[in-house]
Amino acid sequence: MQQIMMVGAGAVGGFFGAHLAKHHNNVSFLLRPRTLQAVSERGLTIRSAADTLTVWPPAASDPRELPRPHLIILSVKAYDLDEVMDQIEPVMTDATVLLTLQNGVDTEDRLIARFQRDCVVGGVAFIYSKIVEPGVIEHYKRGSVAVGELMGHGSERVLQIVELFTQAGLSCEVVEDIRRSKWEKMCWNCVFNPLTVIINDRVSKALDHPEMLGVIQQIVGEVVAVAAGLKVPLADDMADKVVRWSQEIRDIHTSMYDDWKAGRPTEIDSLNGYIVRRGRDLGIPTPLNEALTAMIKAITERERSGPGTLRIDGAVIQPITLDSAALEKLPAEHQVHDVSALLPGMKGRGIKVKGLLDIPARAIGADHVTFHSQDDQFSASLTLKQAAEYGILIYQLDGEQIPASKGGPFRLVTPGLGDLCAHVKGVTRMELTKGPGKDTRPSTKSH
């Protein structure tokens, strides 16, 4: 394997790739532009307790700019795999080997399905490290790899991979059943990755509460049942093993915790979410994994913003964001199913502004609400009484979200308000204020 390409230089790939690059001059890196710039300017640095290592490997964001690889080591997040497969396909040959060092248990099958040949060696990384900044990784514990053929047989390419790692001073062993090893790690990941986020603390916080041990048993039990349904039998005492394995790393956070705190997406869909989906396929109940998936998404996913959303902010205790689906679920007494009954010639469905004003907790003294267009060129400021009595926000035309060309995503109308009529197209924000807010209406009358 004369040329090695590392895909990614994150907490896992950065550590293993840097050590490989230190001992082998044939290691290159395929990186995202931001990381590429950092590595090109300052090198790739690994900070460990014992020492600091900096290497300056060849790197690019286009694999065609790097030496054609004989071995590609994948260390990116599972949700980036489709994009990565598109990237590496142009440099793949019939002899290219792919080594996976990723969480989850379906990466290998996805790769084989895409490239339609026996090109994959399975791998499991055991390491605790994190990204400090692009191109800088802090390494705290472990740093070993297990590899193996998916069919369990010995092979020359696996032995070559082991030799590459061991020559670089890295612990690397061959396992006979790499699929089982990946599922065993999956059990651990499905427990502690989401739990550390939910409790906002380290592994030890979960281990030290007796009540949590029963929860761990149930989470692992669901994973084991799904694994068995997929013909990967795991040990009967798998949950006990997960707890035992955790004792020596009880002080750590997890990769999901670190991703959450750094504002990055999590791998919940490739871990607990995968268990839920396959459980449904197999008819196996997975209620705890389903609950964990839902809670992690609720905790970690950023509030939706941008096209199609309405933000209510200003003099409120907590800003909120709603989309058309959320508006449609508001109480029936606030719904206007046919605005043409109030505004002849205008079709659509709306929501009474009174219903929207009931949602946020208003700051003491708030007495006006201003409706802003998306480009902030137009706005109308009404008293809360006026808005509640006359305001309607149209959010659907012919059962669909209103396109921008027709004044979407939301349109404010105020039938019955007379000379103070307020009609704002493209509304995306309602701002509560103490006193009148910005108003672009031509009328100079008092509002």
For tokens 């309607």, name the residue.
392
| Fold of the domain built from segment(s) 309-433 | Sulfite Oxidase; Chain A, domain 2 (3.90.420)
Q: What is the pLDDT of residues 67-96, one digit of tens each?
A: 999 999 999 999 999 999 999 999 999 999
Mean pLDDT of 148-153: 92
**What tokens were used for 213?**
């041990």
E strand residue ranges, 338-445: 349-352, 368-373, 379-383, 392-397, 400-401, 411-413, 427-433
Q: What percent of the chain has pLDDT over 70?
A: 98
Distance CA 94, CA 251 (A): 44
The alpha carbon dihedral of 332, 337, 341, 344 has a sign of: positive
Distance CA 274, CA 15 (A): 27
Q: What is the pLDDT of residue 447?
A: 46
Task: Compute, in degrees rounded to 10, the torsion defined by CA atoms 75, 78, 82, 84.
Answer: -20
Q: What percent of the chain has pLDDT over 90?
A: 83
Q: What is the pLDDT of residue 440?
A: 93
Distance CA 192, CA 257 (A): 9
Q: What is the pLDDT of residue 62?
A: 96
In 3D, which of 197, 201, 202, 242 has the Cα closest to residue 218?
242
Radius of gyration for the chain, computed over Cα atoms and rounded to the nearest angstrom? 28
CB distance 8 to 31 below 8 Å: yes
Query: What is the DSSP secondary structure assignment for residue 219, as one 8-state letter?
Result: H
Q: What is the pLDDT of residue 340?
A: 82
Mean pLDDT of 137-162: 94
Q: What is the pLDDT of residue 131?
A: 94
Q: What is the pLDDT of residues 287-327, one digit of tens each?
A: 999 999 999 999 998 766 667 899 999 999 999 999 988 99
- Domain-wise residue ranges, the chain: 4-176, 180-300, 309-433
Q: What is the pLDDT of residue 443?
A: 63
Q: Provide DSSP, 87-122.
A: HHGGG--TT-EEEE--SSSSHHHHHHHHH-SS-EEE
Host H or E run for residue 74:
strand 71-74
Is residue 227 over pLDDT 50?
yes
- This prediction has a pTM of 0.79
Lowest mean pLDDT among 242-246, 258-262, 404-408: 404-408
> Which CATH code is given to the segment(s) 4-176?
3.40.50.720
**What tokens were used for 423?**
């009609």
Q: What is the pLDDT of residues 254-290, one digit of tens each?
A: 999 999 999 899 999 999 999 999 999 999 999 999 9
CB atoms within 10 A of CB 435: 10
Q: Determine the length of the chain.
A: 447
CB atoms within 10 A of CB 444: 7
Distances in Å between the Cα of 378 and the Cα atoms of 198, 311, 383, 401 are 42, 16, 17, 21
User: Average per-residue pLDDT in the chain?
Assistant: 93
Q: What is the pLDDT of residue 303?
A: 65
Distance CA 350, CA 397 (A): 9
Is residue 386 over pLDDT 90?
yes
Is residue 446 over pLDDT 50?
no
| Fold of the domain built from segment(s) 180-300 | N-(1-d-carboxylethyl)-l-norvaline Dehydrogenase; domain 2 (1.10.1040)
**What tokens were used for 227?**
């694994």
